[in-house]
Amino acid sequence: MVKIHVEYQGGLRCESRHGPSSRTLVSDAPVDNCGKGESFSPTDLVATALGSCMLTIMGIVADKRGIALEGAVLDVTKSMVADPARRIGKLDVCVSVPGELDANAKQALEKAALSCPVFMSLSDKIEIPVAFSWG
């Protein structure tokens, strides 16, 4: 169990503290929703969580199989919708993995990415197309 402590700072800004490490991050409302957009918005953090979770789980599988994953990058493009309520409508994910990998390694890494805890926790109301690029 991990505790995250979130404190409202005013001006649509929050500071969050990670219990185990005491590290902090600041979130801010986006410009298109009354904020200053000076930091990650809460929904940006959802997109960030998805991307970092996918690469982390891919890294676990890569380490177990002796696959070099260093240099892999992942881009997430978040799209909001407003109907019937403001929410994340789509998270487009593009994963690029350098190096030559055989079909089994590619399949294992794709399966890992698509079974990460964040991916598995998101609502089916969010479209999440994932594209992989190899080599």
58 and 23: one domain? no
Percent composition of the chain: helix, strand, coil (DSSP 3-state, to 5): 35, 35, 35
Instruction: Report the predicted TM-score, pTM, of the whole model to 2 decimal places.
Output: 0.95
Same domain (yes/no): 53, 70: yes
Q: What are phi and psi of 8, to 5 degrees?
A: -75, 125
* Residues 13 and 49 both lie in one domain: no
What CATH number is attached to the domain comprising 103?
Answer: 3.30.300.20
Residues 25 and 63 in one domain: no
Confidence category of residue 81, pLDDT binned at 50, 70, 90? very high
Same domain? 29 vs 91: no
Q: Are residues 54 and 112 in the same domain?
A: yes
pLDDT tens-digit profile of 101-119?
999 999 999 999 999 999 9
State the average pLDDT over residues 52-57.
98
To which H or E segment does residue 124 belong? none
Domain that holds residue 12: 4-33
Q: How many domains does the chain have?
A: 2
Residues 66 and 119 in one domain: yes
Q: Are 25 and 75 contained in the same domain?
A: no
Q: So what's the pLDDT on residue 83?
A: 84
Does residue 90 share a domain with residue 64?
yes
Summarised one tens digit per residue, pLDDT across range 19-54 is 999 999 999 999 999 999 999 999 999 999 999 999
Mean pLDDT of the chain: 97
